[in-house]
Each structure stands twice: as structure tokens, then as C-alpha cells.
Amino acid sequence: VYHMMPGLPGSNCERDLQAFKTIFNDPRFKPDMLKIYPCLVTKETELYDWWKAGKFDPLEGEEAIELIAKMKEQIPRWMRIQRIQRDIPAHLIEAGVQKGNLRDIVKEKLASWNSHCECIRCREVGHKAREGIEPQMDDVKLLTQKYRASDGEEIFLSFEDVEQDIILGYLRLRIPPRDVTRPEIDDATALVRMLYVLGELIPVREDKRPDAWQHKGLGKRLLSEAERIAREDYDMERVAILSGLGTRPYYRRYGYQLEGPYMVKNLD
């Protein structure tokens, strides 16, 4: 997760927008997730003294809204904006953006431009459902996006309603560079870094629900496609998965075994 702070001393909107473009497009960067925290002025800080002395003009108002909207227009579809604006009570903010609903205001600005954000969060099935938009299974397709990042190859797999632009689940597969330091990740091992099926959280032992998207086989299909790509497109012999304790039994179902901190499977 990258934390970006537009409006810092010495910067301006043009430089801040260019910084966002750089992390979106430069293969040295390209993070999975992003938090956007416009620079705020609070008491008992050096920045507060600069502001009181007229040495610093914070990013605020329409200028901040337009900057973030322009950034959101350009964000890649495989990136997720986790947060916009820090959770600081407005009465403690002396200068800067004081609106806690900045994300909603930016969304309205984009709509006024006849535009929208394509980040993962803005397209997630759960958020779309709150707007009364439900995916149609006949329109759901398995999509693949590939890009270079941090000296490796990233493959972003997703199930999406392509007509309504709704994402139901996704997997991040990485073909790492040769200089990986973990002993479990050799030249013949691909890495599944994330696997998510979105929507309402449904406990594993709970009966399947027609209105929920978890436990309908989407995760299994994403994992199967990742294994196929690793084997057929990159000649990988193994797949390793970054897995929490609670999800290890899920991966054991599909032939994965614990090796160090990873769940690992040999590909036939």
C-alpha cells in the first residue's frame, strides 16, 4: 500500500498529479493499493507555524477536489484506493481539506465531467449493490491484465460483469525476478499474492445464498486459471501462496501444502 500526500510544502497540483502518473505507469512502482491523504495543518506542528506565518498555503477546497478527481480518472483497473482523507475530526484541522466525505465529493465531481474512477473499490460488487446495481451472471467474464512491476511480471485475473463494469473477485499472480531472497521461491515458482472474492462475507460453513457471491466457485476458478498461466505461459513448476492461518485449509483442498510461510503446490 502506498500512502500519497498531495499538497506538501514545496509541491503543487501539477507536480502532485505527475507523481500519481509516475506510480501508475512506471514499472519501478505500480502498487496494488493506494491511500490518499491530502496534507493537513493541525496545531502544535511546525507546519502550523509556517501556515500562521504565511509561509505555507495548504491544498484545500475545489483545488483539492479537482486534483484527486484528475488522479482517479487515470488510475489503473488493477489498483484499489483504500482511503481518501485521514480520519481526523474536522475541528482539529486548522487548514486543508476539512470534509470527511471527500471521496463522495470527488465522485460527484467526476460525474459532472461525465467521467468515473475505475479503481477496484469503485467497481466492487458490494459497493455497486448499494447503488442498486447487481451483476448479471451471463455478463460475467474472466479477464486477464498483465503488467511489469518491481522487476517482475504481474498477472491480474478478475471476474467482472463486463456490461456494468462490476468486479466480483480477483487474483494477483506474480512471476518474480531471479534475485528473490526467500528459499521457497526459486526460478520455477510463481507466487499468488492475493485472492479475493468480493461482496458480503459469508462464513465457510453457512449455507450458500443466492444473493451472495462467496462460495460459488469463483475463487477456485481464479486459482485454477492462475495455475494454468504459470505452467503454460511461464513454464513454472510450482505455485506458492501468501496465505493467512484461516485460509490454509481452503488451499489444502486444492493440493497445497505448508512450506515455510507459504502454501505450495507442485504443478503437473
Provide the residue ranges of all domains of the chain, joining segments of one domain with +: 2-123, 133-266
Q: Are 48 and 85 in contact (CB under 8 A)?
A: no
| pLDDT tops 60 at residue 181 | yes
CA distances from 266 to 135, 224, 251 (A): 35, 13, 13
Which tens digit of pLDDT belongs to each residue from 44-83? 999 999 999 999 999 999 999 999 999 999 999 999 999 9
Q: How confident is the model at residue 264 (pLDDT cuts 50, 70, 90)?
A: very high
Q: Angle formed by the axes of helices 61-74 and 102-112, to 10°? A: 70
CA distances from 7 to 23, 33, 42, 86, 211 (A): 17, 20, 14, 14, 43
Q: What is the mean pLDDT of residues 255-268?
A: 96
CA distances from 250 to 13, 199, 217, 263 (A): 46, 18, 12, 10
Grid coordinates representing 53 are 506565518
CA-based angle 257:259:264, to the nearest 5? 50
Thinking of the domain 133-266, which architecture would CATH place it in?
3-Layer(aba) Sandwich (3.40)
